[in-house]
Structure 1
Amino acid sequence: MTSSLVRRRSAIAIAALLAGVVLAPVGATAAHAVHALPPEGDDAPAFDLSAHRGGIGLNVESTPQAFAYALELGVSSLELDVQITKDGHAVITHDRKTNTSVCAEGEPAFEGDPDYPYMGAYIKDLTLEQVRTFDCGSTTKDQHPGQVAHPGEPMMLLGEVFDLVKRYEAYDVDLNIETKVEAGAPEETAPREQFVQVVADEVRRSGLEEQVMIQSFDWGAIMRMREVYPELPISALTNGQDFLQEGEPGASPWLGGIDIDDFDGDVVAAVASFGADVLSPVHGDPQDGGIDDADYVPFTTAEMVESAHAAGIRVIPWTINDTPTMSHLIDIGVDGIITDYPNLLHDELARRGYAMPPRYAQREVSAGSVAVAGDPRVGSVLTANLTGWSTAGVEPTFQWLRDGEPIDGSTGAEHTVVDADLGSLLSVRVRLEVPGFAPLEATSDEVGPVEEEAGPAPEPEPGPSPEPSPEPSPEPSPEPDPLPSPVPSPAPVPGGESPDDGRGGSGDAPDDDAPLAPTAGDAPHGLLTGGLAALIALAGAALVRAARRREA
């Protein structure tokens, strides 16, 4: 449940009551006067399982381990107390005065500090540096025998609680922040106005305002918070008669100027008068007692719950640590319970069939190494390669460096090498900022120095021109069989006939289509000239005649 839904969900609960809807939770008996279970759906208010100071019964109070364990167990809200230091920091501690039941003295903040030892001083009179010297994780309480110690833990800052919630991504868990103004002894705590302004600033800075509710016994502080930060729900804490001072002259200093007698002792009407979203009463007297004790007197009653719901106000009593009293309060319809033992309330709600808050696990975030890949040469592109990083899904940022100094505008995973980089050494710094974790950084080794851009292969040096190679002579075309020029006719044979040349013509002349003997000008490439051509022609003619005789 997020606190921004408090008013809307209260209205739903009122509507159910006015309609007369009465439903029994799973496991409830008919002997109890049982109020309606929250309706189902996105607008249904969840029962507020609230871990008091992180769950004092399980871990030393107000330590990172206590809050983390509650988130891992599954709670719907973390309850925590804020005091303001001398130099204006919001620290997480219940007591306005340092004492050995909560923290152990450490070393002085600086050598010769005149304020040391600090034990017994009011938080408002110590600086943050001084209060952070205390060991607030080692001291366990006898009334919580199962409490786990966490030695060496300093007093937390409010901002560190916000960071822890972010580390777990616990964005459905409310933060019920109590401003510990000591209205009955205002000189012992920081002024009310400082409480309001410092806490409001921290909430705005966190970005978690949708999950925050402000509570206080000093009703004047939550009235002022409503003026300063109207978006935040406010919860009015109340105790018994000593607190309300009903029937006594004047107004109680705790009620922000309200005289409870003006409301006939009706605490619901009193808190409704300034628009409180939640009434958070003590469960009964004695505070460490329970419904099964003979001397126990309930303060949170069914009548109070019904009246509050009718006024649109939710009821979340404090601090209940036994299962029978938890069960009784659930039966009379309270909207949540603040407890030192969230595990017991978790089990009781589960037994009754309530939807349980989610359990969270802290994300893994760690730094690895970064190296530059690429050729450190003008015109090339260098790339940042990450190895071994756990980023929880968050993108890291990059800053390229030239001789160790940031390069303006070069903030991506790649860097194009330019002329300005010439002769320089280049590297890259990577930074990871995951909400709730301290920033992580790593810087690569340098590469370079950067060289000129690589150009095309150089042209050969000019030299003397080589002698041209002679062109190869083409192969000569095949010559047709050469025929001689007309030669004298052979002697006639007896009978006056010319010998047949086999071509159907007379033997005294070649056929009309026989090629003429080549002339000197026809000799290939000018090689056949003059008498040589004649000799070849005669030899050819002789060969023809010999062939004809063989055929005859």
Structure 2
Amino acid sequence: MMSNPWISRRVLCYAHRGGALEAPSSTVFAVERAIFAGASAIEIDVHPTKDLEAVCLHDDSVERTTDGSGNVRDLTLEEIRGLDAAYYFGNNDSEEDHQLSEDAYPYRGLAKEDPKFRVPTLKEVVEAAKNTFLNIDIKEDLGSEAEFEAKVVSEIVERDLIDSTIFASFLQAPLDRIRDQFPELYTAASPEEALHFYNDFLADRHRPETLPLPYVALQIPGSYGGIEYLDASFVEFAHDCGVAVHVWTINERSQMEHLVEVGVDGIITDRSSICATTLSDLKVAYQP
């Protein structure tokens, strides 16, 4: 297993979708705003378009965040780029709201003139997030013949950003293909792998029999089924096994303070300004 610098890179403030409660989700505008607010890392989701271009959007479809309709994989890049990705971002405290009055959407319509408010390509996000850590979540499995993962990976390899990027997915197959084809890249554990790891911890804290592990980070929820299961002993166990711990999606300062006390390596948040301030106040914010 390659050495794992992600354990020493702590505590990272990951702007989830660019900080989805503070700016239109997954847009270049959100990414730039999050970095200005102090985020040290950007978490972004990647989908393939109909013409196999990599674009950044969380959902399979475009309805929740844009003025369009349809699934991402059924739309061409040109069609996707014609949408307003800030259309439903309101000035209340929710990521998207379709029920507000027209004047409650501060960025609606700006995409016509400003590409920072459109659905971005992965290339655009990578360029906006230069000098910042990246976490790229692959949202679809098109199979090995499509070579979509290779296209995503090329955006990172060609810019010499291997050391500052983690590839993640809720799907096992894309991660397996990345590990097989690009063993020099960093990946996070899939949900299935993370569960196996946690079960190893529960089994009298025995180190996993499969060491060395194929991933460098566990990216896991702060609670499961309403139960706060994360504690310092689990994080210590992960570190002993050579794995960093990044926790999602944490939006309250009190939760952030608790996770810092527990010893996690990264906090994934929709409120990057609050997270960055919290980590700075606690004097634990990652300093390169």
Q: Do these two structures clear the TM 0.5 threshold for a shared fold by scoring above it?
A: yes
Q: Which has the higher contact order (CA 8 A, sep 6+)?
A: 2
Residue 131, structure 1, aligned to residue 80, structure 2:
yes
Other-structure match for 1:156: 120
Aligned residue among 131, 134, 142 for 1:190: 142
Deviations 1:178-220, CA, capped at 9 Å, x for gaps: 1112xxxxxxx63366332221122223333332211111233
The answer on whether the counterparts of 1:52 and 1:78 sit within 8 Å (CA) in structure 2 is: yes
Taking structure 1 as the reference length, the TM-score comes to 0.44
Taking structure 2 as the reference length, the TM-score comes to 0.81
Residue 140, structure 1, aligned to residue 70, structure 2:
no
CA distance change for structure 1 residues 51 and 148 in 2, over 3 Å: closer, same or farther?
A: farther
Residue 72, structure 1, aligned to residue 36, structure 2:
yes
Quote how far apart the aligned CAs of 1:144 are: 2.4
Structure exhibiting the larger radius of gyration computed from Cα positions: 1
Quote how far apart the aligned CAs of 1:9 are: 5.6
Distance in 2 (CA, whole Å) between partners of 1:271 and 1:279 is 15
Equivalent residues in 2 for 1:287-302, closer than 5 Å? 296-302=226-232
Q: Which runs of 5+ in 2 are unaligned?
A: 96-103, 112-116, 202-206
SS of equivalent to 2:134: strand
Deviations 1:8-51, CA, capped at 9 Å, x for gaps: 463xxxxxxxxxxxxxxxxxxxxxxxxxxxxxxxxx53311111
Aligned residue among 199, 209, 212 for 1:265: 199
Q: Which amino acid aligns with 1:320?
A: I
| Number of residue pairs the alignment of both structures matches | 266
Q: Which amino acid aligns with 1:75?
A: A
Residue 90, structure 1, aligned to residue 48, structure 2:
no
Deviations 1:318-350, CA, capped at 9 Å, x for gaps: 110011111111111111100001111122112
Distance in 2 (CA, whole Å) between partners of 1:276 and 1:68 is 28
Distance in 2 (CA, whole Å) between partners of 1:259 and 1:133 is 40
Residue 103, structure 1, aligned to residue 42, structure 2:
no
Q: Which has the higher helix share?
A: 2
Other-structure match for 2:101: none
Distance in 1 (CA, whole Å) between partners of 2:3 and 2:31 is 23
CA distance change for structure 1 residues 83 and 272 in 2, over 3 Å: closer, same or farther?
A: farther
Other-structure match for 1:334: 264
Distance in 2 (CA, whole Å) between partners of 1:338 and 1:264 is 19
Distance in 1 (CA, whole Å) between partners of 2:211 and 2:267 is 20
CA distance change for structure 1 residues 195 and 143 in 2, over 3 Å: closer, same or farther?
A: farther
Distance in 1 (CA, whole Å) between partners of 2:195 and 2:235 is 22
Matched residues, percent identical? 28
Aligned residue among 46, 52, 56 for 2:16: 52
The answer on whether the counterparts of 1:214 and 1:233 sit within 8 Å (CA) in structure 2 is: yes
Other-structure match for 1:223: 176
Q: Which runs of 4+ in 1 moved over 6 A?
A: none
The answer on whether the counterparts of 1:51 and 1:75 sit within 8 Å (CA) in structure 2 is: yes
Quote how far apart the aligned CAs of 1:302 are: 2.8
Distance in 1 (CA, whole Å) between partners of 2:26 and 2:271 is 14
Distance in 2 (CA, whole Å) between partners of 1:335 and 1:271 is 23
Q: Which amino acid aligns with 2:119?
A: M
Other-structure match for 2:219: 280
